[in-house]
Amino acid sequence: MTEPLRLSKRMSELGLCSRREADEWIARGWVRVDGVVVSELGSKVLPHQKVTVERQAAAEQSKRVTVLVHKPIGFVSGQAEDGYRPAVVLVTPENRWEEDRAPMRFHPTQLRSLVPAGRLDIDSTGLLVLTQDGRIAKQLVGEDGKVEKEYLVRVEYTRPGRLPDADLKRLNFGMTMDGKKLKPAQVRWQNDDQLRFVLQEGRKRQIRRMCEMVGLRVLGLKRVRIGGVALGDLPQGQWRYLGADEQF
């Protein structure tokens, strides 16, 4: 017999919301299982049971914002650490890109639960996603995520000559990190001292460590795209809203 699952987990699997949102909606009486309201946290359901949410939940979710930041070097992605400021401090009315066409107006409540969907190292720059929407967070940082992330990486070869083609192939496929095989990547030369990386995963300092394995030193790293959303002309240190017509 199929095992029952926690209702919040099942809602997350169905793409309705994040687990945290699910618990909030269950407590508010906004969730039905086979047409019956379930308001007890920790409730379980079978996979074949029909889970629906009330209109209030959808309305609440539609108010949640997602922000794209061009993170400069020296800011951390998440919580403040070691005296460094988190990227969320850049999300102010003054720092909003003047060419942002989104109809939304900034309000301080949009900063509540605005969390990074994925990391970008303190010494890296480029596109960082901050979101209140658990569905987007799950899509970008979930274990089964398949969203591509694209980077421009300025490098210096620390060995004599140029990087051998065999090592470029290794960067594309065949590397192991922390005892686990890396997913295939797309790595090619952009110009004489810059590589373009496209990854479907984001282990801690992954690109820098990959480069070290083949004798490359990273001099600069910039994330220019996440899925279908590009950094584009967004100036460094500024932000804009994710448009209604944009999808990762």
Structure tokens at 86: 């988190």
| 46, 62, 78 - which closes a domain | 62
Classify the phi-psi angles of 82: left when phi > 0, otherwise alpha if psi is within -120 to 50, otherwise beta: left
pLDDT in tens, 89-100: 999 999 999 999
What is the pLDDT averaged over residues 102-108? 89
List the CATH number of the domain containing 85.
3.30.70.580
The pLDDT of residue 138 is 81
SS3 at position 131: strand
Do 17 and 127 lie in a common domain?
Answer: no
pLDDT at 143 (0 to 100):
64
Q: Quote the domain boundaries for residue 88.
A: 66-144+230-241
**pLDDT reported for residue 172:** 97
Same domain for 174 and 121, yes or no, is no
Residue 212 is part of a domain; what is its CATH number? 3.30.2350.10
Question: Considering its fold, how many domains does the chain have in total?
Answer: 3
Statement: residue 80 has pLDDT above 80:
no
Looking at the fold, whether 46 and 104 belong to one and the same domain comes out as no
Q: What is the pLDDT of residues 196-226, one digit of tens each?
A: 999 998 888 999 999 999 999 999 999 999 9
Q: Is residue 93 assigned to a domain?
A: yes
pLDDT band at 173 (very low <50, low <70, confident <90, very high): very high
**215 and 194 in a common domain:** yes
Q: Residue 210 and residue 102: Cα distance in Å, rounded?
A: 38
- 144: confidence class by pLDDT, cuts 50, 70, 90: low
Same domain, 139 and 154: no
CA distance 233 to 236: 9
pLDDT above 90 (res 21): no
Cα gap 166→187, rounded to integer Å: 12
Give residue 170's pLDDT.
96
Residue (of 248, 162, 142, 153) closest to 209 by Cα position: 153
Do 52 and 120 lie in one domain? The reply is no
Mean predicted confidence (pLDDT) in 74-100? 92
| Residue 247 lies inside a defined structural domain of this protein | no
Looking from the CA of 111 toward its CB, the CA atoms found within 13 Å total 11
pLDDT exceeds 90 at position 19: no
Query: Does 235 lie in the same domain as 121?
Result: yes
DSSP secondary structure string for all residues of 22-58: HHHHHHTT-EEETTEE---TT-EE-TTS-EEE-HHHH
What is the helix (H) or strand (E) element at residue 157, kind and residue range?
strand 149-157
Please check whether residue 246 lies inside any domain of the structure: no
- One domain, residues 55 and 73: no
248 within domain boundaries? no
| pLDDT computed for residue 1 by the predictor | 54
In a domain, 36, yes or no: yes
Q: Minimum mean pLDDT among 78-82, 93-97, 232-236, 237-241: which range?
A: 78-82
CATH at 57: 3.10.290.10
Q: Dihedral of CA 174/177/180/184: which sign?
A: negative
Q: Does one domain contain both 154 and 204?
A: yes
| pLDDT tens figures, 155-165 | 999 999 999 99
Q: Write out the catalytic residue numbers.
A: 121
Q: Which pLDDT score, from 0 to 100, does residue 43 have?
A: 93
Separation between Cα atoms, residue 103 and residue 120, nearest integer Å: 28
pTM for the structure as a whole: 0.80
Residue 209 belongs to a domain: yes
List, as one string, the DSSP characters of 160-202: SSS--HHHHHHHHS--EETTEEPPP-EEEEEETTEEEEEES--
Q: Is residue 16 a part of any domain in this protein?
A: yes
Same domain, 47 and 100: no
Instruction: Provide the 3-class DSSP secondary structure of residue 21.
Output: helix
Statement: residue 182 has pLDDT above 60: yes
Give yes or no: residues 236 and 222 share one domain.
Answer: no
Q: What percent of the chain has pLDDT over 70?
A: 98
More confident residue, 69 or 56: 69
Task: Provide the token pair at 212.
Answer: 């070290």
Residue 16 and residue 51 share a domain:
yes
Residue 53 has a pLDDT of 92
Q: Which of 59-63, 131-135, 224-228 has the highest mean pLDDT?
A: 224-228
